[in-house]
Amino acid sequence: MFLDRDGTLTEPRHYPSRPDDLVLQAGVGPPLRTLRRHGFALIVVTNQSGLARGLIDEAAVEPMHRRLRELLARHRVQLDGIYLCPHHVTGIVPRLSIACSCRKPAPGMLHRAADELGCDLSSSWMVGDSRCDIDAGHRAGTRTVLVGPRLLAGAAPTLHRTTTARALRAVASAESLPVGE
């Protein structure tokens, strides 16, 4: 299972740059634990253009990843990987200001994670709150879940739910897993 970070796994923040900026979405612990217990890898795939834009220092990335892992560990949930794209073509950091194959909606992060972790993309889900998340999932060959109050124009997710917790429970249900664990 591929999960977007900001606005999906964590509360939306405009260019979060400190560990304390990361706050888990309500209710995600139990369904993530259920999915993990039943064999799903949990992989975060996140665009972080704030790095290319000079809004986030590269030294802040690892403490933020550590914070995310700690927040999930409080719910007895372990991530299998965190993949990020630091690129953006209009950035100000020259080496990161490029067109790349990893920035969602491109499927590069999903392909890399699948290759490194041995995931079957056709059996996977991409859960996110934006059209680029859904498009990345489609391009990688996963099923998709859009999280948010309404269906976005042009998005064609497999499922749509208003919250991440509901989205994760819908995936568990679609996979015939016990939803109430």
Domain boundaries, given as residue ranges, for the chain? 2-174
Confidence band, pLDDT 50/70/90 cuts, at residue 173: very high
Which of 4, 129, 133, 135 does the annotation list as catalytic? 4
Respond yes or no: is residue 6 known to be catalytic. Answer: yes
**Digit-coded pLDDT (tens) for 3-44:** 999 999 999 998 999 999 999 999 999 999 999 999 999 999
Respond yes or no: is residue 80 known to be catalytic. Answer: no
pLDDT at 178 over 90: no
Model pLDDT, residue 85 = 98
Which of 6, 129, 133, 135 does the annotation list as catalytic? 6
User: What's the mean pLDDT when you consider all of the chain?
Assistant: 96
**Digit-coded pLDDT (tens) for 95-154:** 999 999 999 999 999 999 999 999 999 999 999 999 999 999 999 999 999 999 999 999
Burial state string for 66-83 with b = 16 or more CB within 10 A and e = fewer than 16: ebbeebbeeeebebebbb
Q: Which CATH code fits 2-174? A: 3.40.50.1000
CA distance 51 to 49: 5
pLDDT at 181 over 60: no
What is the percent of the chain where pLDDT is above 70?
99
